[in-house]
Every structure is written in structure tokens, then in C-alpha cells.
């Protein structure tokens, strides 16, 4: 069948297969409206809810196929086009037993001529379906001059109760919402925009319960540009808000922080997140840039993550950073989030866990993994890493450093004569002396047994020799007790161009063995 005729239509037209509800043809206007300029449209499964900007091969929501054998029928639907709502009158034509066509007429085009609302042909299009049409006079209290018959299904009140003034629309708006709705009407009316979408608000039904409504309002102006009335298209969106309320209820019971972030602001934060940050929930949602909560060194990390999210990067992401609480304390937190759509915008929903205690534990474990349990000095593994770093630095920058190896003289005799407890005291005694002799920038470690190592980040060999002599002298002059004196043999060396970690250690060890061989209690340098 030739569908080229539909290219002459000013409105979007799609041809649909009744059997599998797939789109077999879409005219140029349909591609433009539903998929956007420059995007491709192909045959797709009818009714798919995915936005075109997420999957370019999808035509956006086309609701409810025509059932039965009617030659034509009307329906009214609100369609979400890339986060923006539009209301369409859908005229359906049966082309054959297998195919039918739908013409999407933008309601804003029809309402340009307000006289159409007095035409019974058009009014009957709104008598059924999910969209309720109101026409309010631009007067105090917004008296209703017209409302579609299906209002009774939405609010329980009849059309006549509204038109006769028995029911006031303004009085049905929730007391917490009325000021905001009135402010929105005033601001949008004065701005001169052709239409607007209210932030969802609550209406009281005849049965005393409140429902949430989506309100798409169009101002009607006279020849002088003055607003004479407003045309509103209302849709019950309570289900969406019930889900939101359920989410908030569950979040408040959660032992971890929960948030919803849009752009750089928090739209929602639960009480646990307030406790973690030490700010109130209201204070958290007032931050213009949530990165202001983050420790200075981690701000850029968070901003980069948010920027990628705003570009549509989806999937569960987990990362750690530091925050600064209201009381000035620094806390580590783990954030896990995913991308969601909220009110047509790309936002992130996620959790925040205070991991400060875990970080302290990890830091303690790290400290323990690098420290000697007896003396508290760096252990051999840590000292080997420090030497590697210094060798790489020296090769890269041409710098230098010194290495001193210390061994207790006759330590076996102390152990054998006085026992291992006294031997341990001797090792701790030497460790304290070493720490007192060197500078803060120098590194001291226990190499193993009764052997110690000092790393001096200096290329001045005279300082290496001077520190070595000082170590030997001070240890010798500070007895462990009145019965036990301690002396040490010291071997020292300095980095030479071309040295590796092993070659430097071997040279320092040779110097130490020479000191031992030459009588102990002395320093040798190689």
C-alpha cells in the first residue's frame, strides 16, 4: 500500500499493524515530532515507553490501538516527548483489516481558536478518556465556565456543580499547594508564555481524599493581549506520587543515607543523611552546589562524576570521598548511585554510608603492616619499599641518599645471660636512641633480629658519616641498666649513579661486616 499521501499532512501520521502493533510507516512530521531533528525512525513495537533521545530507533509513546471495526474514532493523550509533555487529539482511521492510521493533532494548535470550545464536535472529544478539560475565567477564585463531563470520574463532582459555582475549584486545591499554584499562575501570566506546566499539586475529591494532578494550562487572550480565561488539561498522576511517598517512607526507615540529586542540588535527603552530615534535611536541600559539602581535595572528583551523569552516563557507580560536616569534622563516606529520570530531568538516586570507622581501621591495619610489633619502627618490608622509592627518584632526578645499617654487638650474649625479655628491652632501647638521633625526615626501621636501618634523604656523604658516628657514640654512652651496656657496629653507604636496591644494600652490608671484623663498636663507610 502506498502511504506517500500522508506526507501531505501537517500533523504527525503513523500507520500501525493491528496484529503486532508495530509502526509500518511514519510520515516526516511524525519523525520530526516524536524523534527529533536529524534522528532516525524505524518500525518499532507500538506503545514502547522509551524516550527517543535514549533509543533513537523508537517513536515515542503512542497509546492504545483502536479495537473493533470502527472506521474512525478519537482519543486524547498526554505524551512525554524527551521530558516535555504534549497533549494530542488522536484521530484513528481504519485502512484495512490489517492496518489503521493515527493522526496526532497538537492540542495547542486547536486551542488557538477558543471558539472551538463552543463547538460540540470538538467538546465531545473530551467527554471520555484520562484528560479532563477545564476553562477558568480570569477572575478571583478562578470560576469554571466549562469542564469536560469526565471530571466526575476524576473528582467525583459533576460538571454542573462546577459551572453553577456550587463547587469552587480554588477551594479544592490543598492548603499547602494553593499559594504556590497562585504564584505560578501570576508569574507565567505576566511572562507572556503561550502555555505552561504547573508543578504537580493536590485536589480534594468529593469523597474528602486528595489526588495529585498534572496541570497543563494555556492562557486565552483577547485582541489586546489581555487574558480572558485559562484552558487547563488535567491528568491524575497520584500513582506516581504514591510511589514517591512509598520511597520516602522506606528511605526514612533506612539505616543509611538516601538522596535524590538533580543537577548539583539535592531534591531529597533522608534523616540518616542529615545525621551523617550534621545538617538538617532542609539545610541539605538548600545547598546550591552539593560539592560544597565535600572536603576540598575531593570536590573536583564529585563534580566530574555529576557532569558525567548529566551527560547520561548510567549504571550503578560506587565511590569514596570525604565530606566536611556542619561541625567541621571530616568523614569518609561511600556513595552508591544510579541514573533516574525525575520530572523529565536526568537525576541520580543513591545511598551514602559513613565509612569513617572502616577507614580508621584500614589505616591502622596499614600502619600495622608497615611496623615492627616490638619497637614500633618501620619493618623490613616497609624499609625495602622506601629504598626502592629513593633509588627511582635518584635515577629520575639525579638526587642522592644515604643508607646506614646498625647491628648490636654481642646481642646473643645478652639473650643467653639475661633472657629474651631483657633482650627485647635492649632492642627497644636502641630503637628509641635511633629515633632521637635522626631528623624527622629520616626513616628508621628494624631490618630483622638485632639489625636496624636508617635512610637519610641527602646526597651529602659527610652528613651520612656524621650521623653514623653519632649513632655509635650515643648508644655506647647510654647503658640499658647498671649491669648492661650496649655497643653497635655501623656500616654506611650512599647512592651512586647506576646503583640498584640490591647493589646499595650489599655495599652497606659489606661496610657493616668490615666494622665487625675490625673490632666492633665502630663505623665503616663504603
Residue 118 in this model has a pLDDT that exceeds 90: no
> In DSSP terms, which residues pair with 462 in a beta bridge?
none
Separation between Cα atoms, residue 383 and residue 378, nearest integer Å: 6
Instruction: Check residue 210 and give its pLDDT.
Output: 92
Instruction: Check residue 120 and give its pLDDT.
Output: 43
Per DSSP, the three-state class of 177 is: coil
Across 326-362, b (16+ Cβ under 10 Å) vs e yields eeeeebbbbbebebeeeeeebbbbbbbbbebeebeee
Instruction: Output DSSP code: residue 45.
Output: B
Written in H, E and C, the secondary structure of 63-89 is CCCCCCCCCEEEEEEEEEECCEEEEEE
Q: Percent of the chain having pLDDT more than 90?
A: 35
pLDDT digits (tens, 9 = 90+) for 3-36: 877 777 777 888 888 887 788 888 888 888 877 6
> In DSSP terms, which residues pair with 371 in a beta bridge?
378
Residue 44 in this model has a pLDDT that exceeds 60: no
Question: Per-residue pLDDT averaged across 150-173, rounded?
Answer: 93
Question: Per-residue pLDDT averaged across 230-258, rounded?
Answer: 82
pLDDT confidence of 52, banded at 50, 70, 90?
very low
- Domains, the chain, with CATH or none: 4-110 (3.30.450.20), 114-236 (3.30.450.20), 250-358 (3.30.450.20), 371-525 (3.30.70.270)
pLDDT confidence of 179, banded at 50, 70, 90?
very high
If one counts every other C-beta atom within 10 angstroms of the C-beta of residue 273, the result is 23
pLDDT confidence of 328, banded at 50, 70, 90?
very high
pLDDT confidence of 427, banded at 50, 70, 90?
very high
Instruction: Check residue 71 and give its pLDDT.
Output: 40
Is the pLDDT higher at 55 or at 421?
A: 421
If one counts every other C-beta atom within 10 angstroms of the C-beta of residue 510, the result is 15
Q: At what angle do helices 420-437 and 461-477 cross, to 10 degrees?
A: 140
Nearest to 487 by CA among 409, 406, 407, 405: 409
Q: Percent of the chain having pLDDT more than 70?
A: 86
Instruction: Check residue 53 and give its pLDDT.
Output: 38
Instruction: Check residue 19 and give its pLDDT.
Output: 82
pLDDT digits (tens, 9 = 90+) for 136-147: 999 988 899 888
Of 15-24, 49-58, 336-345, 399-408, where does the model show the most confidence?
Answer: 399-408
Separation between Cα atoms, residue 150 and residue 138, nearest integer Å: 23
Instruction: Check residue 208 and give its pLDDT.
Output: 92
Residue 384 in this model has a pLDDT that exceeds 70: yes
Lowest mean pLDDT among 63-77, 131-145, 244-258, 506-520: 63-77
pLDDT digits (tens, 9 = 90+) for 294-315: 999 999 999 999 888 888 888 8
Please list the alpha-helical segments (H only) found in 267-317: 271-277, 281-286, 299-310
Q: Report DSSP letters for 318-387, one per residue.
A: EEEEEEE-TTS-EEEEEEEEEEEEETTEEEEEEEEEE-HHHHHHHHHHHHHHHB-TTT-SB-HHHHHHHH
Q: Are 155 and 133 in contact (CB under 8 A)?
A: no
Of 98-112, 248-262, 307-321, 323-337, where does the model show the most confidence?
Answer: 323-337
Lowest mean pLDDT among 11-15, 244-248, 403-407, 411-415: 244-248
pLDDT digits (tens, 9 = 90+) for 250-270: 888 888 899 999 888 998 999
Instruction: Check residue 115 and give its pLDDT.
Output: 45
Q: Report DSSP letters for 421-476, one per residue.
A: HHHHHHHHHHHHHHHHHS-TTSEEEEEETTEEEEEE----HHHHHHHHHHHHHHHH
Dihedral over alpha carbons 439, 440, 442, 446 (to 10 degrees) = 110
Residue 202 in this model has a pLDDT that exceeds 60: yes
pLDDT digits (tens, 9 = 90+) for 53-69: 333 333 333 333 333 33
Task: Report the phi/psi class of residue 334: left, alpha or beta, with left for phi > 0 and alpha for psi in -120 to 50.
Answer: beta
Residues 6+ apart with CB under 8 A from 28: 7
Separation between Cα atoms, residue 199 and residue 32, nearest integer Å: 27
> In DSSP terms, which residues pair with 17 in a beta bridge?
99
Separation between Cα atoms, residue 285 and residue 282, nearest integer Å: 5
Helix (H) or strand (E) holding 243: helix 238-252
Question: How many residues are recorded in the chain?
Answer: 526
Is the pLDDT higher at 52 or at 507?
A: 507
Instruction: Check residue 60 and give its pLDDT.
Output: 37
Q: Are 233 and 216 in contact (CB under 8 A)?
A: yes
pLDDT digits (tens, 9 = 90+) for 278-296: 999 999 999 999 999 999 9
Instruction: Check residue 80 and give its pLDDT.
Output: 63
Instruction: Check residue 352 and give its pLDDT.
Output: 93
Nearest to 484 by CA among 425, 433, 435, 407: 425
Is the pLDDT higher at 119 or at 145?
A: 145
Amino acid at each position: 500500500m502506498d502511504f506517500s499521501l500522508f506526507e501531505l499532512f501537517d500533523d504527525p501520521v503513523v500507520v500501525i499493524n493491528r496484529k503486532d502493533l508495530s509502526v509500518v510507516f511514519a510520515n516526516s512530521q511524525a519523525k520530526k515530532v516524536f524523534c527529533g531533528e536529524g534522528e532516525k525512525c524505524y518500525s518499532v513495537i507500538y506503545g514502547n515507553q522509551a524516550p527517543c533521545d535514549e533509543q533513537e530507533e523508537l517513536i515515542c509513546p503512542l497509546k492504545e490501538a483502536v479495537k473493533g471495526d470502527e472506521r474512525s474514532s478519537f482519543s486524547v493523550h498526554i505524551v512525554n516527548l524527551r521530558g516535555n509533555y504534549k497533549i494530542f487529539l488522536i484521530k484513528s482511521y481504519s485502512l484495512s483489516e490489517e492496518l489503521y492510521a493515527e493522526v496526532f493533532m497538537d492540542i495547542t494548535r486547536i486551542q488557538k481558536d477558543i471558539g472551538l470550545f463552543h463547538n460540540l464536535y470538538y467538546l465531545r472529544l473530551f467527554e471520555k478518556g484520562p484528560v479532563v478539560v477545564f476553562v477558568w475565567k480570569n477572575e478571583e477564585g478562578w470560576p469554571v465556565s466549562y469542564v469536560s463531563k469526565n471530571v466526575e470520574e476524576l473528582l467525583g463532582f459533576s460538571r454542573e456543580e462546577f459551572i453553577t459555582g456550587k463547587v469552587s475549584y480554588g477551594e479544592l486545591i490543598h492548603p499547602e499547594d494553593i499559594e504556590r499554584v497562585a504564584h505560578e499562575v501570576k508569574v507565567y501570566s505576566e511572562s507572556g508564555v503561550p502555555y505552561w506546566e504547573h508543578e504537580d499539586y493536590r485536589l480534594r475529591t468529593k469523597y474528602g481524599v486528595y489526588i495529585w494532578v498534572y496541570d497543563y494550562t494555556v492562557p486565552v487572550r483577547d485582541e489586546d493581549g489581555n487574558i480572558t480565561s485559562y484552558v487547563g488539561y488535567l491528568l491524575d498522576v497520584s500513582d506516581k506520587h504514591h510511589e514517591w511517598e512509598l520511597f520516602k517512607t522506606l528511605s526514612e526507615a533506612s539505616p543509611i543515607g538516601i538522596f535524590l540529586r538533580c543537577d548539583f542540588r539535592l531534591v531529597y535527603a533522608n534523616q540518616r543523611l542529615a545525621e551523617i552530615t550534621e545538617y538538617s534535611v532542609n539545610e541539605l536541600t538548600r545547598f546550591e552546589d552539593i560539592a560544597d559539602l565535600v572536603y576540598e581535595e575531593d570536590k573536583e572528583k564529585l563534580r566530574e562524576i555529576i557532569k558525567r551523569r548529566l551527560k547520561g552516563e548510567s549504571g550503578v557507580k560506587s565511590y569514596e570521598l570525604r565530606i566536611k560536616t556542619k561541625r567541621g569534622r571530616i568523614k569518609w563516606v561511600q556513595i552508591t548511585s544510579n541514573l533516574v529520570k525525575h520530572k523529565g530531568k536526568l537525576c541520580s538516586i543513591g545511598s551514602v554510608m559513613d565509612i569513617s570507622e572502616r577507614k580508621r581501621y584500614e589505616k591502622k591495619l596499614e600502619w600495622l603492616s608497615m611496623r615492627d610489633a616490638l619497637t614500633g619502627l618501620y619493618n623490613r618490608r616497609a624499609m625495602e619499599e622506601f629504598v626502592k622509592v629513593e633509588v627511582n627518584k635518584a635515577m629520575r632526578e639525579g638526587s642522592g641518599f644515604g643508607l646506614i645499617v646498625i647491628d648490636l654487638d654481642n646481642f646473643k650474649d645478652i639473650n643467653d645471660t639475661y633472657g629474651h625479655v631483657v633482650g627485647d628491652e635492649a632492642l627497644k632501647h636502641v630503637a628509641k636512641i635511633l629515633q632521637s638521633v635522626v631528623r624527622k625526615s629520616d626513616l628508621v626501621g628494624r631490618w630483622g633480629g638485632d639489625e636496624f636501618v636508617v635512610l637519610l634523604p641527602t646526597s651529602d656523604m659527610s652528613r651520612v658519616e656524621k650521623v653514623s658516628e653519632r649513632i655509635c657514640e650515643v648508644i655506647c654512652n647510654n647503658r640499658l641498666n647498671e649491669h648492661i651496656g650496649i655497643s653497635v657496629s655501623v656500616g654506611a653507604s650512599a647512592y651512586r649513579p647506576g646503583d640498584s636496591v640490591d647493589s646499595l644494600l650489599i655495599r652497606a652490608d659489606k661496610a657493616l661486616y668490615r666494622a665487625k671484623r675490625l673490632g666492633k663498636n665502630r663505623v665503616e663507610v663504603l
